[in-house]
Structure 1
Amino acid sequence: MIYVFKTSVNTREEVKLLSTDLNELVQHGWNIDLDDCDKVLRIDCNAETSDGVVELLHRRGFDCVELS
Protein backbone atom coordinates (compact mmCIF):
# COMPACT_ATOMS: atom_id res chain seq x y z
CA MET A 1 0.00 0.00 0.00
CA ILE A 2 1.19 3.55 -0.70
CA TYR A 3 1.34 5.98 2.23
CA VAL A 4 1.85 9.73 1.80
CA PHE A 5 3.32 12.04 4.44
CA LYS A 6 3.92 15.77 4.78
CA THR A 7 7.47 16.30 6.08
CA SER A 8 9.89 19.04 7.03
CA VAL A 9 12.72 17.54 4.95
CA ASN A 10 14.02 20.42 2.83
CA THR A 11 17.35 19.53 1.25
CA ARG A 12 19.08 16.72 -0.62
CA GLU A 13 21.54 16.49 2.26
CA GLU A 14 18.66 15.77 4.63
CA VAL A 15 17.35 13.11 2.25
CA LYS A 16 20.82 11.52 2.23
CA LEU A 17 20.84 11.60 6.03
CA LEU A 18 17.60 9.61 6.09
CA SER A 19 18.25 7.32 3.12
CA THR A 20 20.10 4.48 4.87
CA ASP A 21 17.48 4.17 7.60
CA LEU A 22 14.58 4.47 5.16
CA ASN A 23 16.11 1.86 2.86
CA GLU A 24 16.37 -0.56 5.79
CA LEU A 25 12.84 0.13 7.03
CA VAL A 26 10.93 0.37 3.74
CA GLN A 27 11.47 -2.71 1.60
CA HIS A 28 9.39 -1.73 -1.44
CA GLY A 29 10.54 1.82 -2.09
CA TRP A 30 10.20 5.42 -1.02
CA ASN A 31 10.79 8.93 -2.34
CA ILE A 32 10.68 12.51 -1.08
CA ASP A 33 9.45 15.22 -3.43
CA LEU A 34 11.46 18.29 -2.44
CA ASP A 35 9.70 20.37 -5.11
CA ASP A 36 6.30 19.86 -3.47
CA CYS A 37 5.31 22.51 -0.91
CA ASP A 38 4.59 19.73 1.61
CA LYS A 39 7.94 17.94 0.95
CA VAL A 40 5.90 14.79 0.38
CA LEU A 41 7.32 11.41 1.37
CA ARG A 42 5.71 8.47 -0.42
CA ILE A 43 6.35 4.95 0.78
CA ASP A 44 5.20 1.54 -0.42
CA CYS A 45 4.75 -0.57 2.72
CA ASN A 46 2.34 -1.96 5.30
CA ALA A 47 0.69 0.01 8.13
CA GLU A 48 3.20 -1.15 10.78
CA THR A 49 6.12 0.08 8.68
CA SER A 50 4.41 3.42 8.02
CA ASP A 51 4.21 4.00 11.79
CA GLY A 52 7.93 3.21 12.00
CA VAL A 53 8.67 5.80 9.31
CA VAL A 54 6.91 8.52 11.32
CA GLU A 55 8.88 7.52 14.42
CA LEU A 56 12.14 7.48 12.46
CA LEU A 57 11.67 10.98 11.08
CA HIS A 58 10.66 12.32 14.49
CA ARG A 59 13.78 10.77 16.08
CA ARG A 60 15.88 12.46 13.39
CA GLY A 61 14.29 15.84 14.19
CA PHE A 62 11.86 16.11 11.28
CA ASP A 63 8.13 16.68 11.23
CA CYS A 64 6.17 13.88 9.58
CA VAL A 65 2.37 13.68 9.34
CA GLU A 66 0.37 11.21 7.26
CA LEU A 67 -1.83 12.87 4.66
CA SER A 68 -5.27 11.41 4.06
Structure 2
Amino acid sequence: MIEVFKTDVRERCQAEQVIRLLIRHFPGHKVNFDLEDCDRVLRMEGSTFSVSRVKNLVRRQGFLCQVLTW
Protein backbone atom coordinates (compact mmCIF):
# COMPACT_ATOMS: atom_id res chain seq x y z
CA MET A 1 0.00 0.00 0.00
CA ILE A 2 1.29 3.45 -0.94
CA GLU A 3 -0.37 6.73 -0.02
CA VAL A 4 0.68 10.29 -0.76
CA PHE A 5 -0.33 13.25 1.39
CA LYS A 6 -0.21 17.01 0.94
CA THR A 7 1.25 18.77 3.99
CA ASP A 8 2.48 22.18 5.06
CA VAL A 9 5.71 20.89 6.62
CA ARG A 10 8.43 23.33 5.55
CA GLU A 11 11.59 22.53 7.50
CA ARG A 12 13.71 19.38 7.36
CA CYS A 13 13.72 19.17 11.19
CA GLN A 14 9.89 19.21 11.18
CA ALA A 15 9.82 16.47 8.56
CA GLU A 16 12.24 14.35 10.58
CA GLN A 17 10.05 14.76 13.67
CA VAL A 18 6.96 13.61 11.76
CA ILE A 19 8.85 10.70 10.19
CA ARG A 20 10.03 9.49 13.62
CA LEU A 21 6.46 9.70 14.95
CA LEU A 22 4.98 7.77 12.02
CA ILE A 23 7.65 5.08 12.13
CA ARG A 24 7.00 4.65 15.83
CA HIS A 25 3.30 4.08 15.10
CA PHE A 26 3.87 2.10 11.89
CA PRO A 27 7.09 0.11 12.37
CA GLY A 28 8.55 -1.37 9.21
CA HIS A 29 6.87 1.16 6.92
CA LYS A 30 8.75 3.54 4.62
CA VAL A 31 8.07 7.22 5.26
CA ASN A 32 9.59 10.19 3.47
CA PHE A 33 8.99 13.81 2.51
CA ASP A 34 9.58 15.79 -0.64
CA LEU A 35 9.86 19.31 0.72
CA GLU A 36 10.88 20.64 -2.69
CA ASP A 37 7.45 19.81 -4.11
CA CYS A 38 4.85 22.59 -3.87
CA ASP A 39 2.58 20.19 -1.91
CA ARG A 40 5.31 19.28 0.62
CA VAL A 41 4.55 15.64 -0.10
CA LEU A 42 4.56 12.99 2.60
CA ARG A 43 4.76 9.46 1.17
CA MET A 44 3.93 6.34 3.18
CA GLU A 45 4.55 2.82 1.99
CA GLY A 46 3.83 -0.38 3.85
CA SER A 47 1.77 -3.52 4.01
CA THR A 48 -1.20 -1.86 5.66
CA PHE A 49 -1.94 1.33 7.58
CA SER A 50 -4.86 3.59 8.38
CA VAL A 51 -4.95 6.74 6.27
CA SER A 52 -7.11 8.50 8.84
CA ARG A 53 -4.66 7.59 11.62
CA VAL A 54 -1.75 9.02 9.60
CA LYS A 55 -3.69 12.24 9.00
CA ASN A 56 -4.63 12.52 12.67
CA LEU A 57 -1.08 11.93 13.90
CA VAL A 58 0.35 14.57 11.56
CA ARG A 59 -2.42 17.04 12.39
CA ARG A 60 -1.80 16.58 16.12
CA GLN A 61 1.74 17.81 15.43
CA GLY A 62 0.20 21.01 14.09
CA PHE A 63 0.50 20.36 10.36
CA LEU A 64 -1.95 20.15 7.49
CA CYS A 65 -2.27 16.61 6.14
CA GLN A 66 -4.66 15.50 3.41
CA VAL A 67 -4.62 12.74 0.84
CA LEU A 68 -3.20 14.02 -2.41
CA THR A 69 -5.42 13.10 -5.33
CA TRP A 70 -4.09 13.07 -8.86
User: Where in structure 2 are there 5+ consecutive unaligned residues?
Assistant: none
Separation in 2, partners of 1:19, 1:3: 14
Aligned AA for 2:2? Answer: I
User: Displacement of 1:47 after TM fit?
Assistant: 4.6
Give the length in aligned residue pairs: 67
Aligned AA for 2:9? Answer: V
Task: Tell me which stretches of 4 or more aligned residues in structure 1 moved more than 4 Å.
Answer: none
User: Displacement of 1:22 after TM fit?
Assistant: 1.3
Aligned AA for 1:32? Answer: F
Post-superposition CA distance 1:9-63 (Å, at most 9, x none): 0011101222321111233201010010000001013252x22110011101000
Q: Secondary structure at the match of 2:59?
A: helix
Aligned alpha-carbon RMSD (Å): 1.3
Q: TM-score, normalised by structure 2?
A: 0.84
Change (3 A) 1:61 1:39: same
User: Where in structure 1 are there 5+ consecutive unaligned residues?
Assistant: none
